[in-house]
Amino acid sequence: MQIKNAKVFTKDFIFEDKNLYIKEGKFATAADENDSEIFDAKGLYAIPGLVDIHFHGSVGCDFMDGEVSSIKKIAAYQASCGITSICPATMTMGEEDIHKACKAGADFVASDSEAELVGINMEGPFVSHNKVGAQNPRFVIPSSAEFFRRAQKVANGLIKLVAIAPEVDGAMQTIKDLKGEVLCSIAHTTANYETAKEAIACGAKHITHLYNAMPPLHHRDPGPIAAGADAKDCDAEIICDGIHIHPSAVRAAFKLFSKERMILISDSMMAVGLNDGEYELGGQKVIVKGRLATLESGTIAGSATNLFDCMKTCVQKMDIPFEDAVRCASYNPARSIGILDKAGSIEEGKKADLLLVDKDLNLKAVLLRGKWLKFNL
């Protein structure tokens, strides 16, 4: 397959006018001499398939359903929206429920129309009772390397991230114990600057949904946001749905962490792709109106926006450069969970996951592992 005349997002994070070649489901450097599939993408931007490393569900299904059938519906919706690699998140629930979700993740095999499940994000139960957000406080427990390892065994090694509130008793030791096994992420926390700095030094090189479920950045008590910004090897997730964070705070985060360390996530729950109504997240009732999803208490409960639309919002309503937004929704998340060898950029030998978008960032086509899933040229 050949895709000609596109403005291609390169490994140098810039757009260049060039042709693309695909062989056997992967990007190649030259055309096959017998190739008769040629597509003209003049006027369109070619970007890598997006990688969402933190979301919970879609189209009425949640990863915590613990059913392969639910993951298949989620993966099909995500792929149709240009999210070609997914790392869905668990919730703070009982160990049996977490294991059920992990087992379903390990058993899932993507069809030609479904995003590939490249990992699992274990969000909970090692969070702070004082910053549970939309997590269920009944199931919060102290962090435990052995608890994680039991889940990882069920997941067949798929867990790439584990959320930990570092100020909770035993958490720092857990971070040390898990270094080299999984990426620990500072999350749902009341940690001050010093505690967060120590956690990063111990191996927690990631921050879950920056700003949300953590102390704010204060000039005398800067907290985990400043600790992460100061550590040049710590990434930060951010939800750019237009609900969770003010555009100015998003721009400030990009200045603090730089485009090299920011990761766009959706944190979407089961309502994304559906109409307003009542849904569920982690066993708790969620009310969705437009892009706003809340518990009955009014607490924001994930988002109702997919990652492609978050990226689009980031560019069009938050003034983040298009090149930076693309990088933070593809390359950076793939790097963070260790799958950059097969996803995250348009390079020879990687999966031919590709999106074609117009100048207004409308999604025109999705190429999934070398086959057109959506085509509207």
Same domain, 293 and 204: yes
Residue 153 lies in a domain: yes
Residue 345 lies in a domain: no
Contact 343, 48 (CB under 8 A): yes
Q: Which domain holds residue 365?
A: 2-46+351-375
Coil/strand/helix, residue 320 = coil
Same domain, 65 and 28: no
Residue that the structure tokens 């953590």 belong to: 214
The pLDDT, as a whole number, for residue 359 is: 97
Q: What is the pLDDT along the chain (377 residues), one digit of tens a residue?
A: 999 999 999 999 999 999 999 999 999 998 887 788 999 999 999 999 999 999 999 999 999 999 999 999 999 999 999 999 999 999 999 999 999 999 999 999 999 999 999 999 999 999 999 998 888 899 999 999 999 999 999 999 999 999 999 999 999 999 999 999 999 999 999 999 999 999 999 999 999 999 999 999 999 999 999 999 999 999 999 999 999 999 999 999 999 999 999 999 999 988 899 888 888 787 788 888 887 888 888 887 778 899 999 999 999 999 999 999 999 999 999 999 999 999 999 999 999 999 999 999 999 999 999 999 988 87
Alpha carbon 62 to its chain centroid, in Å, reads 15
Residue that the structure tokens 């607490």 belong to: 299
What are the C-alpha distances in Å from 189 to residues 14, 105, 216?
36, 27, 11
Same domain, 239 and 321: yes
Domain CATH code at residue 209: 3.20.20.140
340, with CB counted inside 10 A (0-12, 13-18, 19+), is middle
Question: Nearest-CA neighbor of 333 among 116, 12, 54?
Answer: 54
Catalytic residue among 177, 235, 267, 353: 267
Domain CATH code at residue 37: 2.30.40.10
Residue 12 lies in a domain: yes
Residue 262 lies in a domain: yes
Residue 206 lies in a domain: yes
Same domain, 250 and 371: no
What are the C-alpha distances in Å from 303 to residues 9, 129, 216, 272, 288?
28, 22, 20, 8, 9
Q: Please give the tally of structural domains in the chain.
A: 2
Same domain, 254 and 367: no
Residue 341 lies in a domain: no
Same domain, 226 and 257: yes
Buried (b) or exposed (e) across 249-280, using 16+ Cβ within 10 A?
ebebbbebbebebbbbbbbbbbbbbeeeeebb
Same domain, 195 and 61: yes
Residue 342 lies in a domain: no
Residue 100 lies in a domain: yes
Same domain, 230 and 314: yes
Same domain, 305 and 188: yes
Same domain, 153 and 203: yes
Alpha helices (H) along 142-262:
145-154, 171-178, 193-202, 223-230, 247-257
Same domain, 21 and 147: no
The reply to whether 267 belongs to the active site is: yes
Same domain, 149 and 16: no
